[in-house]
Structure 1
Amino acid sequence: MTKAQPSDSELWKLIQLDNNKAFDLLFNRYWSAVYTTSFTYLKDQEACTELVHDIFLNIWRNRHSLEVTSFKNYLTTASRYQVYKLIKRGKLNPIVLVDEYDALPDSSYVVNQGEEKIRYQEMENSIELVLAKLPKKCKEIFMLSRFDNLSNQEIADKLGISKRTVENQITIALKALRISIKAILYSIIFFNI
C-alpha cells in the first residue's frame, strides 16, 4: 500500500516552518508545469530553466510572508508574469556563435547569474543551518552582534553577562561558520567547475 502524498496546503504549512523536504516535494510536483507554461511562450530552454529556478527561489525566500491559497494558480500566474517581464525587457539573449571566444570584449566578466543566485542561496541556507545548530545563548549573542549591530558591551548589558562571555560566544559562532563556509567553497570550487 502506498502512502498518500501530502496536499499542497500541507506542504505549504511545512515550508513556512522552513522544511526543505516539503519544498523539494512541491518543486518536484510543479517545476515541469511551470517550465512547460513558460516554454510555450519563450521557446528558450535556458531562459525557461532560469525562470523556474527564480520563481521557486522567490517562493523559498518569501515563504514567511507569502499568502498562497492555490499553488497551481499561483505558479501559473507567476510564470506568465515572469515571461511577460522577460519579453517586455527583451532579456532573451540570442545565441551568438563566435570563432574566437578570447576575442570577445570583457569575456572574463561573463557570469551565469542563475548559477550565482543558487550558490548564494546554498551559502545562505548553510549559514542558517550552522546558526540553528549553535547553542541557544551563543546564537542569540551572535545574532545581536551581527544582525542587530550591537557592541559586545551592549550585548553584555542587555543579557546581564560579562563582555568576555560575549566575546567567547561570538568566537565559537564564527569558528563554526568558518568551517561551514570552507566546506561550501570547497564543494563549489571542486564540484562545480
Structure 2
Amino acid sequence: MQQQPTDQALLDLLNQGDERGIELIFRRYYAYICKAVYKIIPDSNLVEDLAQDVFYELWRKRGRIQVASSLKGYLRRAAVNKALNYVRDQRIKFTEEEQAPVQKSTEASAPELMAADHLQSRIDEAIDALPERCRIIFILSRFEDMSYREIAEQLEISPKTVENQMAKALKILREMLKFNPGKEA
C-alpha cells in the first residue's frame, strides 16, 4: 500500500510547477471545499464552479503562495472568501438591475414573495454593513456552523474575541433589523 504524500510534499510539487501537485491537492480537498462553499451558497452547480475557482487560483498563484498553518485551513479560508465575495458581488449586481431574481415558488403569493424579498434584502444589507471582522465571524458561525473555538483557531484569535465580536454583530443586527411600523410601507 502506497503512503499518501503530505500536504507539504504536495505544496512543494505545486511550487515547482508540477501539475501532479495541483491534481493531488484537488483530489484530496475538492469535496471538502465544496462542502464549505455549500454552507454559504446552497447551489450545487455554483458550488462546483467556486470550488474549481479556488483550485485554479491556487495553481495560478503557485509561486507566490505562503501557507502558514495547514493546506486544508488555507483552502477553506480561500473557499469561504470566494463564496462571500460571490454573495457580495451578486447583491451589488441585483441592486443595479431593475429586476430581482425570479423566485420559483407556486405556493407563495406575490405579496408574500415581495415581503420575503424585502426582508432578505434588509438582512443582507445589515450583514454587509457589519464591520469586517464582525461580518466574517458572524458568517462563519451562522452559515458555516463553526463553533467559537473553531472560528478562533481559523482566524488565529482568542475565543473571547470571537464571543465579543458575535455579541457586537448580533447587537448591531438587532438594531438594524428592528421592526419600525412607521418606516415600513
Under a length normalisation based on structure 2, what TM-score does the superposition of the two structures give? 0.48
Under a length normalisation based on structure 1, what TM-score does the superposition of the two structures give? 0.46
> Relative to total residues, which structure has the larger helix share, 1 or 2?
1
Rg (Cα) greater in structure: 1
